[in-house]
A and B are shown apart, each in its own frame.
Chain A
Amino acid sequence: MVSDVNRRAFLAASLSASGAAAGLGLAGAVTPASAAAAAAPSAAPGTAARPVARIRMPDVRVRPEARADLTETTLAEAAQLVRRGRVTAEELVTAHLERADTFDGTYQAFNARPVEAALARARAVDAGDVTGPLAGVPLTIKDNFFTAGVPTTANSTIFADFVPTYDATAWRRLSNGGAVMVGKGQMGPLATTRATLPNGTVTTVNAWTPADPTTDPGGSSTGPATSVAGRMACSSIGTQTGGSIILPANRQNLTGLKPTMGRISLHGVVPLTYTRDHVGPLARDVLDAAIMLQVMAAPDPTDPRTQGLPRPADYITAARPVTDRRGRVRVRRPTRVGVPAGYLKSFTGEALALQTAALADLDAIPGISLVDVTYPDDWTLLTGTFNAVRLPERSEPFLRQLQADPTAFGVSLTSWVQGLFLSADEWITGQRAKHRLLRDVLDTVMADCDVVLQTSVVPFDILGLPELGFPVGFGTSSAGPDTLPVGAVLGGAPYEEERLLEVVAAYQAVTDWHLRRPADPAPAARAARRTERPRLTADEVARLTA
């Protein structure tokens, strides 16, 4: 919530028990030691998050279908199965690797698969040499994250031979938690559009329509999304500058979380737009997204954007549904969900029916109330044309490459050059517009609500505010009825990720969309996997770019 007073200072002074508990940033009971630790410095900006190894994982009921097929497991289920010795990490990882062996020729979700390294790490988990909350859990890491000793290409010719000497901080924290990287996720070249080759030829398909590469899988974290939807990894991380976590999550029936700017370090991520790049999970459900966030969220000495911020909250608990005394699912705190004027008018046909039903489902959850909100007058200008203000930020870090060999940018070149055509005063005007837009959002749009449904991912990308995308049903695709995932997007106030998690945890407790998985690619689709795939032109990429 936004406040006119410094509530953190007030909480620190009062040392309230509830404030201390809220500041833990961990699941589990409040022990005297942890309560004391939370009470004293918890409210001070810049306080370090709890070490990864001490994050307490939730106990969950492992579904029968997950026991029967390890590639069906959520991250929480998989971690629990390994933790309790029900399966070995090698069995868990092998199941996912074998599925990728069979189907990734069709999906093309990975651009590198370090199979031997993944198996070796899984065996190290089983030997007790690698431990942590994510021990043995197979993950996909988008290929714009530095991975020490493993090529990191950002799917661009520019990085074709680049092998980093260190891990991106976000991946390092997951790795320190015991996770196993089963692949580098294919992506739009330099994180621009849906995943294509650098020359624009489509690679990765939507896991729900593997025989139809024209179905938009969302971009640019396409590979991570398809790898999780296609059950070749338990979870994944991507990046978002213009919707690239939320949109692939929505289009592939996943739960995607773009946290507030600074909540997860960007150090070791190939930059697209410094002020708008975000790291976040593309996960099977809201609990998995919360676990991933819990592990990655921390101040990082190498990224000043992460410092001096409120301590990470207890995301894992926020993502656990609760019930009232009558056993009905309720939201943890009374929460007002803002519905922008004309929200439903932005949808048609099946999507309109599904979004209408989702609103009704949300409204029926005890503790949730829907409230109308209105955009300010120049909303369209500040979130539309002003979106171009991001472009100089991609030109500047790549100017040497633009000068040396612009052909290396392939189909994505145009927007990198467009950035040279906004002057410094226009860039400054854009930063002033951000200030104005922030006040518009926090003081007007969100003045009467705690979270707000989004009609576009762009405004909260511009402002660095958190967003959570989640499934709300299925429409019709070329593969038939009920095969085209439809999602909704909730936005929140700065560093209020737990509020988003609470709402979606309640929603997913009363719906089952997130439990549905796509059918395996049919033999015909597999046979046709090398057939001609569509190709994006440079002009199309310039128009669609994140």
Chain B
Amino acid sequence: MPVSAADLTDEELTAFVKARLLVSGFDLSLLPTTFDPATGVPTQDTLVTSLKGFVRSTPGAINTWRPASGEATDEDLYAQQVAPPLEYPSIVEAWTGKVDA
């Protein structure tokens, strides 16, 4: 049975979120603890709650996807050979000569 973010307890997830913020140099204490209408910025709790939801839903949906290779066996190994990353797909399409002038 594969593991995922769903296996994290709420306390573990909170700790993960706060630890990741620290790793990035983000000081959560700079945010207000109650709503500040002057800035509209989320409170510390609002932000952490939102980030926990993001961590539960999004990274796992992305990192479990792989492009299909079409091969009947050793699918994971053949999948490494297809769809190398493209930051700018349309530009690559032109640079590789597949676009009419």
Instruction: Determine the chain B residues whose CB is within 8 A of the CB of A408 once the complex forms.
Output: 39
Known: A310-B94, A413-B42, A495-B99. A305 touches B88 (CB 8 A): yes
Tell me the B74-101 residues at the A interface (CB within 8 Å).
Answer: 82-91, 93-95, 97-101
A465 to B90, Cβ gap below 8 A?
yes
A6 to B97, Cβ gap below 8 A?
yes
B94 to A403, Cβ gap below 8 A?
no
Instruction: Determine the chain A residues whose CB is within 8 A of the CB of B25 once the complex forms.
Output: 399, 402-403
A310 to B40, Cβ gap below 8 A?
no
Of the candidates B47, B59, B65, the one whose C-beta lies within 8 Å of that of A417 is B47
Instruction: Determine the chain A residues whose CB is within 8 A of the CB of B21 once the complex forms.
Output: 417, 420
B101 to A436, Cβ gap below 8 A?
no
A407 to B41, Cβ gap below 8 A?
yes
Least Cβ–Cβ distance between B40 and chain A, in angstroms = 3
Query: Is the CB of B46 closer than 8 A to any CB of chain A?
Result: yes
Contact digits for B51-89, partner A, Cβ 8 Å, 1 yes 0 no: 100110111011101110000000000000011111111
Query: Is the CB of A27 closer than 8 A to any CB of chain B?
Result: no
Q: In whole angstroms, what is the CA distance A251 to B25 when docked?
A: 40
Q: In whole angstroms, what is the CA distance A356 to B59 when docked?
A: 39
Instruction: Determine the chain B residues whose CB is within 8 A of the CB of A537 once the complex forms.
Output: 40
Q: In whole angstroms, what is the CA distance A442 to B87 when docked?
A: 17
Least Cβ–Cβ distance between A165 and chain B, in angstroms = 28
Contact digits for A397-438, partner B, Cβ 8 Å, 1 yes 0 no: 001001101111111011001101111011011111111111
Tell me the A118-143 residues at the B interface (CB within 8 Å).
Answer: none
Of the candidates B31, B40, B58, B82, the one whose C-beta lies within 8 Å of that of A385 is B58
Query: Is the CB of A9 closer than 8 A to any CB of chain B?
Result: yes
Interface hub of A45, A198, A305, A494 (most chain B Cβ within 10 A): A494
Query: Is the CB of A485 closer than 8 A to any CB of chain B?
Result: no
B86 to A45, Cβ gap below 8 A?
no
Least Cβ–Cβ distance between A99 and chain B, in angstroms = 31
Instruction: Determine the chain B residues whose CB is within 8 A of the CB of A439 once the complex forms.
Output: 83
Least Cβ–Cβ distance between A6 and chain B, in angstroms = 4
Q: How large is the interface on A (under 10, 10 to 19, 20 to 34, 35 or more residues)?
A: 35 or more
Query: Is the CB of A296 closer than 8 A to any CB of chain B?
Result: no
Instruction: Determine the chain B residues whose CB is within 8 A of the CB of A157 once the complex forms.
Output: 39
Query: Is the CB of A49 closer than 8 A to any CB of chain B?
Result: no
Q: In whole angstroms, what is the CA distance A4 to B40 when docked?
A: 52
Least Cβ–Cβ distance between A457 and chain B, in angstroms = 15
Q: In whole angstroms, what is the CA distance A45 to B59 when docked?
A: 38
Q: In whole angstroms, what is the CA distance A199 to B41 when docked?
A: 7
Known: A199-B38, A410-B40, A432-B67. A538 touches B46 (CB 8 A): yes
A406 to B26, Cβ gap below 8 A?
yes
Query: Is the CB of B37 closer than 8 A to any CB of chain A?
Result: yes
Least Cβ–Cβ distance between A346 and chain B, in angstroms = 23
Known: A45-B94, A417-B21, A494-B90. A381 touches B61 (CB 8 A): yes
Instruction: List chain A positions with a Cβ less than 8 A from chain B.
Output: 1-9, 11-12, 19, 22-23, 42-43, 45, 157, 197-201, 260-262, 275, 305, 308-311, 378, 381, 385-386, 388-389, 395, 399, 402-403, 405-411, 413-414, 417-418, 420-423, 425-426, 428-439, 442, 463-465, 493-496, 535-539, 542
Give the 7 A-B CB pairs with smallest separation, nearest first: A431-B85, A199-B40, A6-B97, A411-B40, A538-B42, A464-B90, A8-B101
Instruction: List chain B positions with a Cβ less than 8 A from chain A.
Output: 17, 20-21, 24-27, 30-32, 36-42, 46-47, 50-51, 54-55, 57-59, 61-63, 65-67, 82-91, 93-95, 97-101
List 24 contacting pairs A-B, 8 Å CB cutoff, sorted by A: A3-B98, A42-B101, A45-B94, A308-B95, A310-B101, A311-B101, A385-B57, A385-B58, A406-B30, A406-B31, A406-B41, A411-B41, A413-B42, A417-B26, A417-B51, A418-B51, A420-B20, A421-B54, A421-B59, A429-B65, A432-B86, A435-B67, A537-B40, A538-B46
